[in-house]
Amino acid sequence: MLVVTALEDLTADRVIEVLNAREVPVVRVDPADIGPGLRFGFTLGTGRTRWSGPLRTTAREAEVAEVAAVYWRRPGPYTATFGHLPQQARDFSVAEARHGLGGVLGGLHGARYVNYPSAVARADFKPAQLRQFADLGLRIPPTLITNDLEKAREFAASHEHIVYKTFRGLPPGENGRAGAIWAQRIDPRTLDETVAVTAHLFQAEIPKTGDVRVTVIGHRVFAQMISAPRGDLDWRRGDWDRLVHSPVVVPVPIRDALQNYLTAFDLVFGCFDFALTGPGDDPENWWAIECNPNGQWGWLPDAPAIAEAFADILSTEESRPHDHALGR
């Protein structure tokens, strides 16, 4: 079993802990450690139809031809490894590592992936997510993607309140530290020509009564209502230790739509965010916001059960709905 992730990853730690308890052989590896701390020698040909050879970390070793499953979590960036090199050499080394080492680890023949990195990349675009939600009949907030000031003003004028969201997280600054731009209500009077600089995502604000995080692994569904003490528009911006969680039952039509969503993107797992506008037993009150195809769940109250579900789907032949996405 391979767990592909960076050194500090509570979410991956939980899965590895369960696999260790089940005595499943696990090798944790971060491709960004390429160099003295990570060596490999993969061969193909002369009668071999799959890549074979050792993958060695400072503590463990795996024969890649024997890898049965891969939990592709969040490996570190190759750019950090080669940051000391001149730009051309750095860019070259990053590309070679990604296409060489990453190319082998991301497509091991016969291995079960949760999830395939290529599937995660395809499912990571919010416009594609929103379109798929709409195709499946899920309710989504009215949305505008634009760099046109007049379009933005027209959209704001047609809704009582609008919200701005980023497509991606804020990249690290010159000091190497990452930041965040949370979902925020926009005063239409502040919209100006800077809208033209890049793409912007505006949505009509939903009069929500709560937020729900739905974690889906295969056919298993875990859902928690999340409430922020201050009633923040974006619950992620506050102290996560003060968030209030309570289990919620996902209506059958919503569950079915989420299974179809995973199938559409060749995913086995996803973290879905919903806004509720009323009682959770009515599917009409569920508004789809986004899906993180590689989301975090380690802080949730049902994290132990989620970790067991991950271990089940990685280490057994238990129901796996998307065999074609699992290298079979």
Q: Name residue 227's beta-bridge partners.
A: 244
- Yes or no: say if 151 and 202 are a contact pair by the CB < 8 Å rule: no
Q: What is the DSSP letter of 206?
A: P
User: For 223-242, what is the mean pLDDT?
Assistant: 77
pTM for the full predicted model = 0.90
Q: How far apart are CA 190 and CA 251, in angstroms?
A: 40
Q: How far apart are CA 221 and CA 184, in angstroms?
A: 29
The CA distances from residue 135 to 70, 124, 139, 217, in Å, are 30, 17, 10, 22
DSSP per-residue letters across 129-193: HHHHHHHTT-B---EEEES-HHHHHHHHHTSS-EEEE-SSPPPP-TTS-------EEE-GGG--G
User: For 227-233, what is the mean pLDDT?
Assistant: 74
Q: Say which CATH class 207-326 falls into.
A: alpha beta
- Yes or no: say if 294 and 74 are a contact pair by the CB < 8 Å rule: yes
Ordered by start, the domain boundaries in the chain are 2-110, 142-204, 207-326
Residue type, position 87, single letter:
Q
Q: Return the closest-CA partner of residue 71 out of 122, 34, 21, 19.
A: 19
- The predicted-structure confidence for 17-48, as pLDDT tens digits, reads as follows 999 999 999 999 999 999 999 999 999 988 78
Q: What is the DSSP letter of 35?
A: B
Cβ contacts of 204 within 8 Å, gap of 6 or more: 141, 142, 143, 159, 160, 161, 162, 163
- Yes or no: say if 313 and 304 are a contact pair by the CB < 8 Å rule: no
Is the pLDDT at 181 greater than 90? The verdict is no
- The predicted-structure confidence for 183-200, as pLDDT tens digits, reads as follows 889 999 999 999 999 999
CA dihedral 296, 172, 58, 315 (to 10 degrees): 20
Q: Considering the chain, what is the average pLDDT of its residues?
A: 91
Q: How far apart are CA 311 and CA 80, in angstroms?
A: 30
Q: How far apart are CA 221 and CA 224, in angstroms?
A: 10
Conformation bin of residue 168: beta by default, left when phi > 0, alpha when psi is -120 to 50: beta
- The predicted-structure confidence for 238-277, as pLDDT tens digits, reads as follows 676 778 899 999 999 999 999 999 999 999 999 999 999 9
Using CB atoms within 10 A of its CB, is residue 52 exposed (0-12), middle (13-18) or buried (19+)? middle
Distance from the Cα of residue 282 to its chain's centroid: 27
Strand bridging mode 2-4 / 69-72: parallel
- Yes or no: say if 136 and 260 are a contact pair by the CB < 8 Å rule: yes
Using CB atoms within 10 A of its CB, is residue 56 exposed (0-12), middle (13-18) or buried (19+)? middle
- The predicted-structure confidence for 293-304, as pLDDT tens digits, reads as follows 999 999 899 999
- Yes or no: say if 310 and 114 are a contact pair by the CB < 8 Å rule: yes
- The predicted-structure confidence for 308-317, as pLDDT tens digits, reads as follows 999 999 987 5
Confidence class for position 325, pLDDT limits 50, 70, 90: very low
- Yes or no: say if 267 and 276 are a contact pair by the CB < 8 Å rule: no
Outline where 277-317 has alpha helix (H). 303-315
- Yes or no: say if 18 and 311 are a contact pair by the CB < 8 Å rule: yes
- The predicted-structure confidence for 148-160, as pLDDT tens digits, reads as follows 999 999 999 999 9
